[in-house]
Chain A
Amino acid sequence: MPLIHKPATELHELIKTKQVSSRDVTEAFLAQIHHVEPSLNAFLTLTDDLALSMADAVDQKVSKGLPLGPLEGVPIAIKDNICTENIPTTCASTILKGFLPPYNATLIETLKQAGLPILGKTNMDEFAMGSSTETSAYQKTHNPWNVDCVPGGSSGGSAVAVAGFEAPLSIGSDTGGSIRQPASFCGNVGLKPTYGRVSRYGLIAFASSLDQIGSFANNVTDTAHLLNLLAGHDPKDSTSLALEKEDFTRLLGSPKKGLRVGLPNEFFKHLSPEVKALYTTLINTLSQDGIEFVWLDLPSIEYALATYYIIAPAEASSNLARYDGVRFGFRAAGTSSTAEMIEQSRSQGFGAEVKRRILIGTYVLSSGYYDAYYKKAQKVRTLIKKDFDRAFEQVDIIASPTTPTPAFKLGEKTNDPLEMYLSDIMTIPLNLAGLPGLSIPCGLHNNLPMGWQLMGKAFDEARLLQVAHQMESLIGFGGCA
């Protein structure tokens, strides 16, 4: 098996036992990147030199006989909304064209300390607003399973980097499904941890009460090892929680006895008969292996999408007010007053979808509409949270399809915003409730991968990963060769 097809934990073992060097591994992925990028376009910036110098530092440790930390020497790709010191960080937006962050996100400091060579920055929907990576101001990313299809979004570049064997691991962010939905479309494992589990310091804000950093990997074991690195309290992020350090791999490989999994009726209503049949077969297969499934009602979930499209734009319109053409690289040319400079810089710097969300957010926060929309949505958010709390009194895990359909064609939904928003209908409820969730590949529909979404209680990632690992081995999904 070529190096690039191996999971991260296996690559790390090979490096640790001197069978290959971290440089060998990093060069193999860089070679694949240069080979497939012309058809996939997953990366906005490549950092070959940084990756190789980090790899060499790991190899020096190995040659000196020093012990390596978890995943040390295994390369990783980073979504372009995470600040990397002196390396372009654009959020795939014109308004951040040429922006060089003066500091690293906490996550980047962590990865540098841990010795994971950074391969580059990945494409995304502009400011993470989108479900197909098509709102990027720079390029369209293609799904490796079918290059006429979208990779999903907003973390489409990071999903494709792993699916296309350009990186064994990658980092994304998930505000309404931006990790789980592209992981589903690209056939890999995408994890959104509990809100507050991973520091958001240096993650460029979209909707601060919903944003969470997470990961893509080839399997659940790699995902659990990576979460061990990412999780932790950060004094620089007041919403990161001071929890006791735990090992998220500790329950892997010991299947939970008497596992009860909830299936919300609401998540199975919107499926085509063919897709529904795929999940019915999956549920039957898993039942035969002793997993008990229980049908549940989460009535307020039906309102999650509407709630999200009020709350997220409200927070975004406020977060994006800072882009005024003064401090972050881009400024419209030829303006004669500061007011005109701000208006022109924003009008030229933001794309159509970002502007749409700024308008929605500004509307729902304006006096006269605040109570009717924003406050109403915040109250429904409470109901959604309560529905999940009630459900978790009966079951250990909740499961659903990750998306109602497999990856759609490029351009298919770009003219109908609401139709595009509907592709996140299964993933959004979890962000509103702040809970952890992941998507594992579970089968093919029209030769495109479909995802199985597993949702857990707050801070119960160890259990979530245990169950995901158990189901992953029962499903036995192969990769995209």
Chain B
Amino acid sequence: MISTEDVRHLATLSRLRFNEAEVAQYAKDLGSIFDYAKALNELPTDDIAPSAHAIPIENVFREDGVVPFDADTLLINAPEQEGHAFKVPQILAD
């Protein structure tokens, strides 16, 4: 069971905002998806190691080096900019 309160909490954690109808709908959807997922508990897994990846992968190391990138190219995607910076609304209150 996923309550509407759970959905509101998840929305806050996810930086999403929903109206009441959406909250109710997501509570219902997530409820049925997690009900389905409960089937996993039928499988005993106490002695099984979790897999984060399917293929064994080792960490790759390299020298830390600066690769120059044209700042103007990156700033093409800035909704707002000031000089060579991405501009955002005020973060701290006065």
Contacts and interface: CB of A to CB of B under 8 A. Distances in A.
Interface of A: 98-100, 102, 194-196, 209, 235, 238-239, 241, 300, 302-303, 305-307, 309-310, 317, 324-331, 335-338, 340-344, 346-347, 350, 355-356, 358-360, 362-363, 366, 373, 375-383, 385, 417-418, 421, 431-435, 458
Contacts of B57: 196, 238-239, 241
A92 to B, nearest CB: 17
Given A306-B39, A309-B37, A336 B90 contact: yes
B55 A326 contact: no
A238 B55 contact: no
Contacts of B29: 356, 417
Give the interface SS of chain B, mostly helix, strand, loop or mixed.
loop
30 contacts: A196-B57, A303-B43, A306-B37, A310-B37, A324-B15, A325-B79, A328-B77, A329-B79, A331-B79, A336-B89, A337-B89, A338-B88, A338-B89, A342-B15, A346-B15, A356-B29, A359-B26, A363-B10, A376-B41, A377-B37, A377-B40, A381-B50, A382-B49, A418-B36, A421-B33, A431-B54, A432-B54, A433-B54, A434-B54, A458-B55
Given A310-B37, A336-B89, A238 B79 contact: no
B63 to A, nearest CB: 12
Nearest to B60: A238
B14 A358 contact: yes
A344 B17 contact: yes
Contact of A379 (B49, B62, B79): B49
B26 A356 contact: yes
Interface of B: 2, 6-7, 10-11, 13-18, 26, 29-30, 32-34, 36-37, 39-43, 45, 48-55, 57, 59-60, 62, 69-70, 73-74, 76-80, 86, 88-91
Nearest to B57: A239
A381 B2 CA distance: 25
Contact of A326 (B13, B41, B86): B86
Nearest to B35: A418
Nearest to A434: B54
Given A303-B39, A317-B14, A344-B17, A382 B26 contact: no
A382 B51 contact: yes
A458 B14 CA distance: 36
Contacts of A382: 48-51
A328 B77 CA distance: 5
A330 to B, nearest CB: 7
Contact of B77 (A99, A300, A307, A335): A99
A335 B88 CA distance: 10
Contacts of B32: 417-418
Nearest to A458: B55
Given A336-B90, A362-B14, A196 B55 contact: yes
A341 B88 contact: yes
Highest count of chain B CB atoms <10 Å: which of A209, A350, A363, A435: A363
B15 A363 contact: no
Contacts of B30: 356, 359-360, 363
B56 to A, nearest CB: 10
B18 to A, nearest CB: 8
Contacts of A303: 39-40, 42-43
Contact of B55 (A300, A358, A360, A434): A434
B89 to A, nearest CB: 5
A305 B37 CA distance: 8
A366 B13 contact: yes
A209 B16 contact: no
Given A327-B77, A327-B78, A434-B54, A359 B14 contact: yes
A57 to B, nearest CB: 24
Nearest to A197: B55
B25 to A, nearest CB: 8
A338 B90 contact: yes
Nearest to B7: A359
B90 A343 contact: no
Given A375-B50, A379-B49, A382-B48, A355 B37 contact: no
Contacts of B34: 363, 373
B17 A347 contact: yes
Highest count of chain B CB atoms <10 Å: which of A305, A329, A379, A381: A379
Given A325-B79, A376-B40, 8 more contacts: A100-B77, A102-B74, A239-B57, A310-B37, A347-B16, A359-B10, A379-B48, A379-B49
A381 B90 contact: no
B59 A343 contact: no
Nearest to A341: B89
Contacts of B53: 195, 209, 239, 434
Highest count of chain B CB atoms <10 Å: which of A98, A324, A350, A376: A376
Highest count of chain A CB atoms <10 Å: which of B42, B48, B86: B48
Nearest to B17: A347
B55 A194 contact: yes
